[in-house]
Structure 1
Amino acid sequence: MKQMRLILFSKPGCHLCEGLQEKLEQIQSLKFELEIRDITTREDWFAAYQYEIPVLYLLEDGAEAAKPIPRPSPRASVKQLEQMLCKYMSNSEKNHAE
């Protein structure tokens, strides 16, 4: 199985970003590395995501580009978030195998 990495574009003080990060850190049944990218550290990230954060991408080892994951509802439970990620991770593995 490929190593999966989730990339969360965020910024300090963003309550939606912090809430999503906390929920992602609580998921234990899926194996992934969580990388937090502060959009205030790079002008290109800030320009691209200042009105969109939190933005979540899935990147698997060997993939040339990260795939965007639709933003989950801030009201989504950890379990609902886990189910959504499971769907995207399994779709990514299926597409990579073809």
Structure 2
Amino acid sequence: MQLILYSKPGCHLCEGLQEKLEQIQNLSFELEIRDITTREDWFMAYQYEVPVLYLVKPEDEQERALPRPSPRASVQQLEQMLCKYLANPEKNNAE
């Protein structure tokens, strides 16, 4: 599994989410950080939205947007959210 975090320099919410994602130990995933200031299409799409988190499952290679976790969420709460979306991402995207 891969997680993609769209971020930008100086974004405290982005940095906080990245730190929490890096502390998760019970899930195996690759974290890719995409700096939206490096590509105009990313910047135009996410300039007012960062941090934006996407899930990519190896079997389908499709990026699925995840809801933004609360900045107050603990590492454990973030891990629980990711487990929920891994279990059934199609159902959860429809909510």
Which residue number corresponds to residue 34 of structure 1? 31
Query: TM (normalized to structure 1)?
Result: 0.88
Which residues of structure 2 form unaligned runs of 5+? Answer: none
Which residues of structure 1 form unaligned runs of 5+? Answer: none
- Change in 2 beyond 3 A, CA 1:14/1:60: same
* Pairing 1:72–2:69 present: yes
> How do 1:1-98 and structure 2 match up within 5 A?
4-92=1-89
Post-superposition, which runs of at least 4 consecutive aligned residues in structure 1 deviate over 3 A? none
Q: For residue 30 of structure 1, what is the amino acid of its counterpart?
A: L
**C-alpha deviation, 1:38, in angstroms:** 0.2
Query: TM (normalized to structure 2)?
Result: 0.91
- Aligned alpha-carbon RMSD (Å): 1.5
Give the number of equivalent residue pairs. Answer: 91
Percent identity among equivalent residues? 78
Q: Alignment partner of 1:6: what SS? A: strand
